Chain A
Amino acid sequence: MRIYFTRLKCLIRDKGNLFWAIIFPLCLGTFFYLGFGRLTMDSFIDTIDTYVASDYYSDLLVSQMQEVKINTDKPLFNVNVDKTKAELEQLLQDKKIKGYIYVENNEITYRVNGSGVDQTVTKGFLDQYLQISELIVKVSTTNPEKINDVINDLAKQRSYVKEILSGSNPKANRLNVYFFALIAMACLYGSFWGIGLVRDIEADNSPLAARVNITPTHKFKLIVTYFLAALTLHFSGNMMLVLYLKYLLQIEFSNNLLLIILTSFVGTIGGITFGAFMSILVKGTPEKKEGIVNIICLFLSFLSGLMFLDVKYFIDRNIPFFSYVNPASLLTDSLYSLYYYNSLSRYFLRLSILAVLSLIFISGTYFKMRGNRYDSV
């Protein structure tokens, strides 16, 4: 116990590691919150002023556009049909409007004077409208008896999407994945404690470790004690982060706090063991190891969607195997699964893989560290 408490004291007084492992994620969480923490799809997109030429328009298109909503109270388009095509063209040239739509011989044309979110969203809607229209026309001409089935299928598809999103959290917000990735990154930053563990026990890493090696204290006892001290401190830090995000910043997580704590606990173990393992693999000074591990942690977090959410989706789609061996992705996905899905099977699968990875990391570290004599110190 004495070694444990002294080690804990050392770790608490190590301001550099304390900053990176505990303070930095808290700061980053605050910046995320200030940057887009309050953003949802509701607030991300405002109603778009859209112009349809009064002399070239389609009733169906206009009515469909008026029906689309961002949420129950907020329409996606504010459709104006009070100007002719010539007038709208003039307004477009004068840059008084961003674009306008006209329908001629059943062909929809969308004229714009630049690119932007409004134009992209409008074009996206028009593309989808055209696809559905073509499908309905095609079915009504080839298999008119199946037209009702097609319409019902389209309706089901919509409700299916709604179901997923309303599974465990009716206000599901995809931007929360950034915060999940942040927690994953914080867990991975436990690597610094792992590097410290190896640095202070492996005789060829530091004079301090050499000194410890010639004491009558068993190496295994030191490894376990140092690990437990790091786990205590880093897990406390990670819990602070989770509670800070959930209760102070009001970031939406799963309501199952116990499983969030479990995720953070396994993640912390994963982070520390990952650092220790990397420290064994990478040759060089502890400073060099810290630099390399820092870059790896950031890169793994990047791949799990910390900076750009689309990166995570790209990896999931194209290199799914990597998502299963990237500790940051496993953690992000665990929290994501808790948040989005009612079933816990996806969650436990990822957490189990992470636990197995941690076991591999710690076993690899121990088998290397238990080496008795060194080539050089």
Chain B
Amino acid sequence: MIVKVENVSKTYKNGVKALQNLSFEVREGEIFGLLGPNGSGKTTSINCILSLLKYEAGNIEIFGESMTPERYDLKAQIGYVPQQVAVFNELTVEENIDYFCGLYVKDKQKRKSLVDEAIDFVSLNDYRKFYPKKLSGGLLRRLNIACGIAHKPRLIILDEPTVAVDPQSRNKILEGIVKLNKQGATIVYTSHYMEEVEQICSYIVIMDKGQVVSHGTKEKLKAMINLGETIEITLPNRNEAYLDLFRQLPNVLDCFYKDRILVVKSGKGQTNIPNVLQLMNEHDIKYETIYSSLPTLNDVFLEITGKELRD
């Protein structure tokens, strides 16, 4: 077990109960996703794991040993990418990575090659001599990541590394995380973007109000809910009478409008697309587009908590 969080509770001074008997385990080689809406306790969990925060109850182990602020031997094997960009504005890209890498690796030659590798990894070769202020948001995030992974840690914790990042940089970051995992690092990845977690994580814990609401592989999580398929039909005009028509179709769980889009949610089983198309033909319902999608983690979260991930 790489990380073991056991019944951890944390209450802030203002009375907010950030974590309530939180428990989960991260196994070696996983990309472990911690998914939850803003304020669900993801960052608090990470800060407790890293021994930055005090907590009233529970136990945290890393690499099978109890984690405390003095466990420098454990810290030496961890890489941390904080949610906010945390680099020195007075140092260039290369100097920043070298500084943070140097807090772990003393040997100058070894460090130089690690820094070069990290710069390559985040594709910042053309920006080596740039100061952080001259970098775009996406490039800054990549620098933030490079500072946390340059020393090739065994465990890498990334706290929402893609917040406010353009799609191109986001894809690069996600590809990079998968690559790090393939190189042997265990990853703990927190996000409120379900697509990202679905895309890269092999095991997912869904959090809400400081508690684990569900956990498992994405397939397992999706199998836990009744929803099977969501069909979205864009209509030229909204007609409330159609709702009753679609609700009469077999296996339909719910039917509602999102602006001009008619959403039909069906239960597990066969696809409902042929039935929907037949109904529209029979009643001469004109449509512009029609899409069918399988359940997402948001659907899982919605079904378990009654609210959307991004509420």
A residues with CB within 8 A of B: 2-3, 6, 9-11, 13-14, 203, 206-208, 210-218, 372-377
When distances are taken between beta carbons in the complex, the residues of chain B under 8 Å from A3 are: 99, 102-103
B45 to chain A, nearest CB (A): 13
- Which B residues from 43 to 85 make CB contacts under 8 A with A? 47, 50-54, 68-70, 72-73, 75-76, 78, 80, 82-85
Report if A6-B54 is in contact (Cβ < 8 Å); known contacts: A214-B78, A377-B47: no
Known pairs A212-B103, A216-B76; list 8 more (Cβ under 8 Å): A207-B85, A211-B86, A214-B80, A217-B103, A373-B52, A374-B52, A375-B12, A377-B52
From B29-37, B88-96, B213-221, give the one contacting chain A. Answer: B88-96
Q: Are B51 and A373 in contact (CB under 8 A)?
A: yes
Say whether B227 faces chain A, with CB atoms less than 8 Å apart.
Answer: no
When distances are taken between beta carbons in the complex, the residues of chain B under 8 Å from A375 are: 12-13, 53-54
Q: Are A372 and B70 in contact (CB under 8 A)?
A: yes
Q: Are B53 and A377 in contact (CB under 8 A)?
A: yes
B57 to chain A, nearest CB (A): 14
Q: Are A373 and B86 in contact (CB under 8 A)?
A: no
Report if A215-B104 is in contact (Cβ < 8 Å); known contacts: A9-B91, A10-B90, A206-B86: yes
The 23 sampled A-B contact pairs (Cβ below 8 Å) are A6-B91, A6-B102, A10-B88, A11-B90, A14-B90, A203-B52, A208-B86, A210-B52, A211-B86, A211-B100, A211-B147, A211-B148, A213-B52, A213-B69, A215-B100, A216-B76, A216-B104, A217-B72, A217-B103, A372-B70, A373-B54, A375-B13, A377-B53
Say whether B225 faces chain A, with CB atoms less than 8 Å apart.
Answer: no
Say whether B165 faces chain A, with CB atoms less than 8 Å apart.
Answer: no
Across the interface, name the chain B residue whose C-beta is closest to A13: B90
Q: Are A215 and B103 in contact (CB under 8 A)?
A: yes
When distances are taken between beta carbons in the complex, the residues of chain A under 8 Å from B87 are: 208
Q: How far is the CA of A87 from the CA of B19 in the complex (A)?
A: 95
Q: How far is the CA of A3 from the CA of B85 in the complex (A)?
A: 20
Query: Number of B interface residues, CB 8 Å?
Result: 34
Q: Are B100 and A218 in contact (CB under 8 A)?
A: no
When distances are taken between beta carbons in the complex, the residues of chain A under 8 Å from B91 are: 6, 9-10, 13
Closest A-B pairs by Cβ, 10 of them: A13-B90, A207-B86, A372-B69, A215-B103, A216-B72, A216-B76, A207-B84, A10-B90, A373-B54, A211-B86
Mark each residue of chain B from 185 to 229: 1 if its CB lies under 8 Å from any CB of chain A, else 0: 000000000000000000000000000000000000000000000
When distances are taken between beta carbons in the complex, the residues of chain A under 8 Å from B50 are: 214
Across the interface, name the chain A residue whose C-beta is closest to B86: A207
A229 to chain B, nearest CB (A): 12
A142 to chain B, nearest CB (A): 77
Q: How far is the CA of A377 from the CA of B80 in the complex (A)?
A: 15
B81 to chain A, nearest CB (A): 9
B65 to chain A, nearest CB (A): 14
B257 to chain A, nearest CB (A): 43
A111 to chain B, nearest CB (A): 67
Q: Are A218 and B51 in contact (CB under 8 A)?
A: no
B106 to chain A, nearest CB (A): 8
Report if A9-B12 is in contact (Cβ < 8 Å); known contacts: A3-B102, A214-B80, A217-B103: no
Q: How far is the CA of A375 from the CA of B53 in the complex (A)?
A: 6
Across the interface, name the chain A residue whose C-beta is closest to B70: A372
Across the interface, name the chain A residue whose C-beta is closest to B102: A2
Q: How far is the CA of A217 from the CA of B100 in the complex (A)?
A: 10
Q: How far is the CA of A375 from the CA of B13 in the complex (A)?
A: 7
A206, A211, A373, A377 pick with most chain B CB within 10 angstroms: A211
When distances are taken between beta carbons in the complex, the residues of chain A under 8 Å from B13 are: 375-376
When distances are taken between beta carbons in the complex, the residues of chain B under 8 Å from A11 are: 90
When distances are taken between beta carbons in the complex, the residues of chain A under 8 Å from B47 are: 210, 377
Across the interface, name the chain B residue whose C-beta is closest to A206: B86
When distances are taken between beta carbons in the complex, the residues of chain A under 8 Å from B102 are: 2-3, 6
Across the interface, name the chain A residue whose C-beta is closest to B55: A373
Report if A374-B86 is in contact (Cβ < 8 Å); known contacts: A3-B102, A214-B80: no
When distances are taken between beta carbons in the complex, the residues of chain A under 8 Å from B80 are: 211, 214
Q: Are A215 and B75 in contact (CB under 8 A)?
A: yes
Across the interface, name the chain A residue whose C-beta is closest to B76: A216
Q: Are A9 and B86 in contact (CB under 8 A)?
A: no
When distances are taken between beta carbons in the complex, the residues of chain A under 8 Å from B51 are: 214, 372-373
When distances are taken between beta carbons in the complex, the residues of chain B under 8 Å from A377 are: 47, 52-53
B105 to chain A, nearest CB (A): 10
